[in-house]
Amino acid sequence: SIAVALTIYLMNGVPGRFSPELGAYLAASEDFNPDRPQCHMRSDRPIPYQQTCIYGDESQPPSMAIWGDSHGTELAMMLGTRLKDDQRSLRSMTMSGCAASLSRYPLCNEQVADSLEAMIADDEMRTILLVQNLHGHDDYAKDTVAGLKQTALKLKKADKQVVIVYP
């Protein structure tokens, strides 16, 4: 019995015991953006707008941006893959714990203000996806929603299309 158990262990289990749907769900845990270390900002490592990562057809100026917290990182990579076929690109501007809004977190506010100013000035930038994990109904979530609304209104005033994405 030890030999059988060891064989199953060395074969990483018996994957066939799961339905295809559950197998796909379990495989998603390995689905991450390999560019995260250099493209995803942290409060101690902001990235200037012009140096943020571009996904898609890098020969084309980005006309779209993913802007928000860490929940947008993988979305940027996957959407960029789709845009490449259309000869388009997007800019990834994600930062851990930082919504695309001025908030109660001073470490985020400077990056948000600089990014907003740069996006408004960027004539090529047409569509901005604001991505945020809005968990719960606490004061943080309420402040975040209010801040996202202000960001969206400022972008809209600059003739940008705004899409809000949240889980």
pLDDT of residue 144: 83
pLDDT in tens, 56-101: 999 999 999 999 888 888 889 899 999 999 999 999 999 888 888 8
3-state SS, one letter per residue, for the chain? CHHHHHHHHHCCCCHHHCCHHHHHHHHHHHCCCCCHHHHCEECCECCCHHHCCEEECCCCCCCEEEEECHHHHHHHHHHHHHHHHCCCEEEEEEECCCCCCCCCCHHHHHHHHHHHHHHHHCCCCCEEEEECCCCCCCHHHHHHHHHHHHHHHHHHHCCCEEEEECC
pLDDT of residue 99: 86
pLDDT of residue 145: 85
pLDDT of residue 14: 63
Distance (Å, rounded) from C-alpha 74 to C-alpha 33?
A: 5
DSSP state of 41: B
8 A C-beta contact, residue 115 and residue 67: yes
The pTM (predicted TM-score) of the whole model is 0.78
SS3 113: helix
pLDDT of residue 82: 94
Residues in the chain: 167
For the chain, which residues score pLDDT lower than 50? none
pLDDT of residue 11: 64
